[in-house]
A and B are shown apart, each in its own frame.
Chain A
Amino acid sequence: MNRSDAAADLSRVQSSPVRGKSGVQGRPGASRFTLYNMTFLPSILFFVLWELLARANAALKWFNPRFLPPPTQLIEEGWKLAQTGIILDSIVSSTTRIVTGFIIGCAAALIAGVLIAKFRAVEFWFSPVLNLVGPIPALALLPLFIIWFGIGEFPKILLIAWTTFIPVLVYTLDGFKSVPSTLIRSALSLGATGRQVFIRVMLPAAIPNFLVGAQVSLGLSFSALIVSEMMGASSGLGYIIVDARNFFKMTNMFIAIILIGLEYSLFSWLLRLVEKKALAWRKDGLRDAVQR
């Protein structure tokens, strides 16, 4: 294994393809340049195929070419659109909404989780109500929020926060409930007070679950963001989509959709980064179970 690695290194340093293929190398998995290292490849292939399909369609007229503009045209139109400042404005307002709503939702869920886990009375009075309203799809509440609070920022952020709140709360509570009793017992036998047990044992033990909840609800929060921008907004990525539909600006629609995808990926990546930092102590999963 080490020797074949060294051989691969050598071939890289000398950048001699002949030597690299000369059979000194072990199995392909041992070398540094493998197919699976090129994580960007599938995405590039996706856009290339899209481009080819759109161009072929433009030439052969299988269906209206406006329905599926090629990526190169999207970049061109996107650049024009960016110069008017609309894209930047939309990204800024959408990002502000999702960040505010998501953070408020997560924080509220964590606080509610702590209160429910700590105080029996809170659990008694609130759990049934949460079980009642929790399963209602948050998007069904949007028209109600608009009627109550108007079409400003508040109902949108409230909707995003509410969408985030329920799953994060459910996961966090599950985390509190599944803290191993021996951890609590050992803390007590080391002289910890009830309060210290909560802060030093229960909270850190529930953090992994909390983060899973956050990751799960991120997708839902984005849906809430886009839908709330589609109904009664004058800015944001969701608004671009509705506007594009009304005026049949297909390229704008695609640009907004792609930007939403990119923004979601960015946030998901950031969240995973936080998770990795916060859970550095964890060693499990399939990758660690069977090392290759």
Chain B
Amino acid sequence: MKLEVRNVSKSYGGRLVLREINLTVEEREFICILGHSGCGKSTLLNMIAGYIPPDSGDIIVDGRPVTGPSRSRGMVFQDHALFPWLTVLNNIAFGPRVQKVPRQQAKQMAREYLKLVGLEAYESHYPAELSGGMKQRVGIARALAGQPDILLMDEPFGALDILTRESMQAELRRICEKLKPTVLFVTHSISEAVYLADRVVIMKHGIIADVFEVNLSHPRSPHAPQFGEAMARIERVLMDDERAGADGAAEDALYAVKAGSA
């Protein structure tokens, strides 16, 4: 599995949201796309998912251009988007079922993924009966059960409280160690990106501002000095104003002001 984004641009109502984006995701890589809201990161993810077409450029999965949504690119949404009329088990079995897997086998598959996210006891519950974190676990299990080549995650933990969020991040890492999927994860949290990703792609004003390799072994501790260093580096890129970037002195001054006010 290899995903390539080549010179992709997109504009809405005359405003350029994405400008000449180039990005390659290798097999089994975990990439975080990090940026402020409105930087175009969700638009990019939605285009990779095939929900919206790019204005120009190509998105290529395994040598073939993306023309629409398909099961090769599974999606986890921030609002989890579970089917409220299906039980937890049937939600997870949805992917296998529409892919023509026989009913019993699909349920068996669903049970395995349910076990993976630790919700075996809730298989006959409806989504409305679950907490936010549990719903998102089901969302992840459902996306994985669809057997995607790449897992796209659009701020999946954005609506969760901080404690749940941290346990979900650990949970996701654990699942990744086990299944080694290819993941493209959109977030606006620097610590989340550093905790989860092999590579962090920083987006600003519709362009990729920088790409960081995070060379820390898992499980990563947010208290380790290298973790803090990585966060600080990313923060510097993220917080810098573009105009200040032209002038090193101004950049430093601006950073000092921002750090002071923070």
List A residues at the B interface (Cβ < 8 Å).
180, 182-183, 185-193, 196, 200-201, 204-205, 207, 280-284
Contact = CB atoms under 8 A, between A and B. Distances in A.
A114 B15 CA distance: 37
B49 A185 contact: yes
Contacts of A200: 83, 94, 98
Interface in B43-73: 49-51, 68-71, 73
Contacts of A207: 85
B170 interface: no
> In this complex, which of A182, A196, A204, A283 has the most chain B Cβ atoms within 10 angstroms of its Cβ?
A182
B84 A193 contact: no
A180 B81 contact: yes
Contact of A187 (B73, B84, B94, B148): B94
B146 A191 contact: yes
List the 10 closest A-B pairs by CB distance, nearest first: A191-B71, A188-B69, A182-B81, A190-B95, A283-B128, A190-B146, A281-B126, A192-B98, A189-B75, A186-B81
A185 B98 contact: no
Interface residues on B, range: 20 to 34
A190 B129 contact: no
Given A183-B83, A204-B85, A189 B73 contact: yes
A193 B83 CA distance: 16
A interface: dominant SS: helix
Contacts of B75: 185-186, 189
A182 B77 contact: yes
Contacts of B71: 189-191
Given A187-B94, A189-B49, A192-B98, A201 B83 contact: yes
Contact of A189 (B69, B83, B127): B69
B108 interface: no
Interface in B129-180: 129, 142-143, 146, 148, 152
B206 interface: no
Given A281-B85, A282-B128, A191 B70 contact: yes
